Chain A
Amino acid sequence: MSGLLQELTEKALAKNVPFSVQLDLTYRCNERCVHCYLDHDDHGEMTTAEIKHLLDEMADAGVFVLTLSGGEIFLRKDFFEILEYARLQRQFCVKLKTNAIMIRESEAARLREIGVESIQISIYSHRPEVHDGITLVPGSLKRSLDAARFLKSQGLRVIFANVLMVQNAQDYPGVRAMADQIGVECTLDPTVTPMMDGDRSVLGLGVGHETLREVFRDQGLVGNVEEFCAIPAPADEDSLAALPCSASHTACYVSPYGDVFPCVQFPLPTGNVRKQKFLDIWRHSKEMNEVRSIRLKDLTTCTSCSHVGSCTRCPGLAFMEGNMRGPSSQDCEKSFARTGVPSANMLAKKRAANLIQIRVVPALANASAALA
């Protein structure tokens, strides 16, 4: 984050201003990515008028950065009407997240005309059989890459977002090379998110310890490997007083149905903009304020963990594990892979597993058999 952006975010935090909001316009999608956490049926999306009204409320509340995402945003027939309103009438800094397969030359030109800060495109592999095997749409890699070139030719900022999974674990250097060749940026995320309904079966698609370990030692990705993988220094009082992340502090998420959550990865309902004003939810929701009250020193297991000051712990993933003040096991795994030091949560689980080992006593085993 640039110095000025950091300064503005801190000012927004001090003034309780929702600086940044992700608004999903639809959960409908024209791809069927195997790891996706969404239910793609339409359960009653906000209308164009409702979205414009929400944009008015968000602008008046001080929202500056607006990320439009989904589902696939270009499936909404009113997408450009919404985008134009957000940009030219309400002056948001707009970022887009899309698979881009509906973007051709004319759409790219129109995006340039309206002006967006960036367009993030999901790219899983440089190999069509792997990318298309993840999206389950034949030809999708070619279409997404064509779109990236159209956007780039318009001078727009394009970012490839690559989620690391077992299917594409070896392909991220290929995606990065392809990004370099087209002249766009590239990010890599090793986190697979549970379904919004809590189903965790998709987590099996996440990469294991050895792959994570290798990725975290790739100089091209992390820069100074020694520094990145260093054993963390003990946390001091200042770091324990820090905020866990921006969710509820300077950022939040709104679903296509108007539900407001602290973050897209934090499915704790805090209100609905169809029934309440956006700013009232932001300022007065009990749930939003509960999330807002949490500091690192309030975390249950993590406070005693050596990683607490440097961990990427996601409060939303912790919430989905059952406790917003608890650890997020996926981030424990990342801290472990990075440094080789197990987290307090991992050690506690190991101790618990040792304590509750069940040994079958022959006499009781016979009794059990008799009962069966």
Chain B
Amino acid sequence: MSKLYLMRNPRVAARSLDGEMMIMSGRDSTLFTLNKTATILWQSADGATPLDEIVEKKICGEFEVERSEALADAESLARELAGHEILQISDVPIAQQTSVVGEKR
């Protein structure tokens, strides 16, 4: 199975509110909120860490869930977020363009 890399779309507006992300699409200003799992994906989407590693370290560590099931759900979620242009996905690492939301620089 090929690796999947995720990268936050720098054109969205995004902020964490009480541990969950609010995201406004840069394409059409549609507003989304991400649940805790999707928030973990968003915050880990640095373009360099493959999805299976994110799932292994951040999701299976946080929730009691089978690795294969978690990976399938995460991939489906990542593709859905990519469809809304909230995330970029690729089978090769994606170059970082901007700083990470909510991270201290």
Question: Measuring CB to CB, which residues of chain A are less than 8 angstroms from any residue of chain B?
Answer: 2, 4-5, 8, 11-12, 15, 17, 59-60, 62-64, 87-94, 115, 117-118, 157
Contact = CB atoms under 8 A, between A and B. Distances in A.
Interface stretch (B5-13, B48-56, B60-68, B72-80): B5-13
A89 B2 CA distance: 31
Nearest to A118: B29
B82 interface: no
Contacts, number: 55
B11 to A, nearest CB: 5
B17 A12 contact: yes
A177 B10 CA distance: 37
Given A2-B31, A8-B33, A117-B24, A15 B12 contact: no
Size bracket of the B interface: 20 to 34
A44 to B, nearest CB: 27
B26 interface: yes
Contacts of B22: 8, 64
19 contacts: A4-B31, A4-B33, A8-B17, A8-B33, A11-B17, A17-B17, A59-B101, A60-B104, A62-B15, A64-B13, A87-B13, A88-B10, A88-B98, A89-B98, A89-B99, A91-B13, A91-B101, A92-B13, A93-B24
B86 to A, nearest CB: 12
Contacts of A11: 17-18
Contacts of B15: 59, 62-64, 91-92
Interface string B1-43: 0000000001111111110001010100101110000000000
A12 B22 CA distance: 11
A93 B22 CA distance: 10
B29 A91 contact: no
A115 B104 CA distance: 23
A70 to B, nearest CB: 21
Nearest to A92: B13
A64 B17 contact: yes
B33 A117 contact: no
